């Protein structure tokens, strides 16, 4: 029965039918706006939790060394590196499980449990009396932080295909905003008490959990849920699921190489700018502020205009080409002020990530979104483990006294190489996607996109 007929039949039966009809329409209309806001806030708080650790983490770790007696800067740096690896390993192991579990029982319960775990874990980190306990809390935080998988699947559930690029752009904006506020909040709060940032992060996470408990609707209907299989929760076996979709498998390989480049940049940024330009922590923080601000402007605002205009595939390839040029620029900049100019240019490359996610979610069946997103997150975690190791080793080799050639920007050139490979793979994988010619080679696709 059409809406007009319903309206008329109600009007003939009820004296005040117009009001009743409008109430019924509101009752059955899905309320997606609060859900998207909740996902945005969840990811923002996840990044905030990571960001507050940047300025205060090394000092807190150093104070916990040797049973609380304290240790040297080098010992603290070594411990912080292993803490980062622990977090990434836990995300790698549990992202497929959370994704597959959300495909079976729904997104809402998995998200709420993960957020509650994060909130409680931040308080546990604040109270940690020893480094061993701190490692345990960081591992738990990596497990609950794997909820990003479920967030991506949730977005795919509630947004139509033509609007997913913009929705994933909002996710990128959450990361950018968290990267702005996290280090800034950590530095300010840490100046009063080194453990205070963790209390604040925990309080925000618990408030977010309370909000979600009362507001967040379920996005995956019962009829679209799948059976839970252990093979789908296996982080290694989960990669096999990518092979069912050639486009997704190709983009996953491309994103892995791009993430190697990105995480290498993250780990060497402070080392490089301090060594080459003599930047103070304040100036380093300012540069990170600009990076986050650029991400928010592009991914929260420009993505929804640029991607529909250019098309998803062209947006993906253009964004990746911008990234390649940015890495080369970072490594070649002779003056510190040039870095800020390159940051502004590099921010435009932020159109690539939401475009890639939109292509992936349009390719995958609805009941497999969680599984595929889990596999992608696990692949990202592998890159988060090995990308920094490769970048720091290259950086150390080329600034050493016995270096074959003095080249402080070598780690950024390595990132550029990874990005070139990733762009070629992405162009090849999406050659049959709408807007691409089937006979197009990767080189032709890149030249056309540029």
Name the average pLDDT for the chain: 75
**pLDDT tier for residue 335 given thresholds of 50, 70 and 90:** very high
What is the reported pLDDT for 264? 82
Rounded CA-CA distance 276/269 in Å is 11
Rounded to the nearest 10 degrees, the angle between the axes of helix 148-158 and helix 369-399 is: 130
Task: Kindly state whether residue 8 falls inside one of the protein's structural domains.
Answer: no
Is the pLDDT confidence value at 15 over 60? no
pLDDT digits (tens, 9 = 90+) for 375-395: 777 787 788 888 877 887 788
Higher pLDDT, 336 or 357: 336
What is the reported pLDDT for 330? 94
Rounded CA-CA distance 219/107 in Å is 7
pLDDT digits (tens, 9 = 90+) for 114-150: 888 888 888 988 888 888 888 898 888 777 766 677 8
Kindly state the average pLDDT of the residues 85-94: 79
Rounded CA-CA distance 446/318 in Å is 8
Task: Kindly state whether residue 26 falls inside one of the protein's structural domains.
Answer: no
DSSP H stretches of helix in 216-335: 230-233, 238-242, 246-277, 281-297, 303-310, 312-332
Rounded CA-CA distance 411/392 in Å is 7
Rounded CA-CA distance 449/43 in Å is 31
Between the ranges 50-54, 170-174, 338-342, where is the mean pLDDT highest?
Answer: 338-342
Rounded CA-CA distance 351/318 in Å is 8
What is the reported pLDDT for 384? 81
CA dihedral 42, 47, 50, 55 (to 10 degrees): -130
Please tell me whether the overall predicted TM-score, pTM, comes out greater than 0.95 for this model. no
**Full domain range(s) for residue 232:** 32-215+226-449
**pLDDT tier for residue 325 given thresholds of 50, 70 and 90:** very high
Is the pLDDT confidence value at 218 over 50? yes
**pLDDT tier for residue 12 given thresholds of 50, 70 and 90:** very low
CATH number at residue 279: 1.20.1250.20
Burial of 377: CB neighbours in 10 Å, binned 0-12, 13-18, 19+: buried
Task: Kindly state whether residue 111 falls inside one of the protein's structural domains.
Answer: yes
CA dihedral 49, 52, 53, 54 (to 10 degrees): 130
| Cα of 427 vs its chain's centroid, Å | 22
What total number of domains does the chain contain? 1
* Residue 407 CB neighbours (<10 A): 16
Kindly state the average pLDDT of the residues 162-178: 71
Task: Kindly state whether residue 310 falls inside one of the protein's structural domains.
Answer: yes
Task: Kindly state whether residue 391 falls inside one of the protein's structural domains.
Answer: yes
Rounded CA-CA distance 329/106 in Å is 45
Task: Kindly state whether residue 75 falls inside one of the protein's structural domains.
Answer: yes
* Residue 341 CB neighbours (<10 A): 12
Rounded CA-CA distance 137/140 in Å is 5
What is the reported pLDDT for 237? 65
Is the pLDDT confidence value at 26 over 60? no
Rounded CA-CA distance 328/339 in Å is 11
> The tokens 């996710």 sit on which residue?
171
Rounded CA-CA distance 371/149 in Å is 9
Is the pLDDT confidence value at 59 over 50? yes
Task: Kindly state whether residue 22 falls inside one of the protein's structural domains.
Answer: no
Task: Kindly state whether residue 370 falls inside one of the protein's structural domains.
Answer: yes
Kindly state the average pLDDT of the residues 49-65: 70
């Amino acid at each position: 029965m059409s809406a007009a007929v319903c309206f008329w039949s109600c009007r003939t039966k009820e004296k005040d039918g117009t009001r009743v009809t409008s109430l019924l329409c509101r009752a059955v209309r899905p309320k997606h706006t609060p859900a998207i806001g909740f996902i945005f806030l969840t990811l923002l708080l996840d990044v905030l939790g990571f960001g507050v650790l940047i300025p205060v983490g090394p000092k807190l770790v150093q104070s916990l060394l040797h049973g609380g007696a304290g240790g040297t800067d080098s010992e603290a740096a070594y411990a912080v590196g292993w803490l980062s690896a622990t977090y990434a390993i836990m995300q790698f192991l549990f992202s497929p499980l959370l994704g597959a579990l959300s495909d079976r029982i729904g997104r809402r319960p998995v998200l709420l449990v993960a957020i509650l775990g994060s909130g409680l874990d931040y308080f546990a980190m604040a109270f940690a009396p020893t480094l061993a306990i701190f490692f345990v809390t960081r591992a738990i935080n990596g497990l609950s932080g794997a909820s990003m998988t479920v967030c991506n699947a949730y977005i795919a559930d509630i947004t139509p295909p033509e609007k997913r690029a913009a929705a994933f752009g909002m996710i990128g904006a959450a990361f950018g905003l968290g990267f702005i506020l996290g280090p800034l909040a950590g530095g300010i709060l840490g100046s009063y008490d080194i453990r205070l940032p963790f209390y604040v992060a925990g309080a925000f996470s618990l408030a977010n959990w309370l909000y979600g408990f009362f507001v967040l609707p379920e996005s995956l209907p019962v009829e679209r849920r799948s059976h839970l299989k252990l093979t789908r929760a296996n982080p290694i076996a989960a990669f096999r699921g990518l092979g069912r979709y050639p486009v997704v498998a190709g983009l996953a390989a491309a994103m892995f190489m791009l993430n190697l480049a990105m995480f290498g940049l993250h780990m060497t940024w402070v080392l490089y700018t301090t060594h080459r330009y003599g930047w103070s922590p304040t100036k380093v923080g300012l540069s990170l502020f600009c990076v986050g601000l650029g991400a928010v402007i592009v991914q929260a605002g420009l993505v929804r205009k640029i991607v529909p205009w250019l098309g998803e595939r062209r947006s993906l390839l253009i964004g990746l080409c911008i990234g390649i040029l940015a890495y080369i620029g970072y490594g070649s900049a002779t003056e510190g002020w040039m870095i800020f100019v390159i940051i502004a240019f590099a921010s435009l490359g932020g159109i690539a990530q939401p475009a890639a996610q939109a292509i992936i979610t349009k390719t995958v069946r609805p009941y497999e979104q969680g599984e595929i997103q889990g596999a992608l997150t696990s692949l990202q975690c592998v890159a988060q483990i090995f990308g920094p190791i490769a970048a720091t080793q290259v950086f150390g080799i080329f600034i050493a006294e016995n270096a074959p050639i003095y080249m402080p920007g070598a780690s950024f050139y390595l990132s550029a190489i990874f990005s070139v490979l990733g762009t070629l793979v992405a162009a090849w994988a999406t050659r049959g996607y709408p807007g691409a010619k089937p006979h197009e080679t990767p080189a032709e696709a890149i030249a056309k996109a540029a």
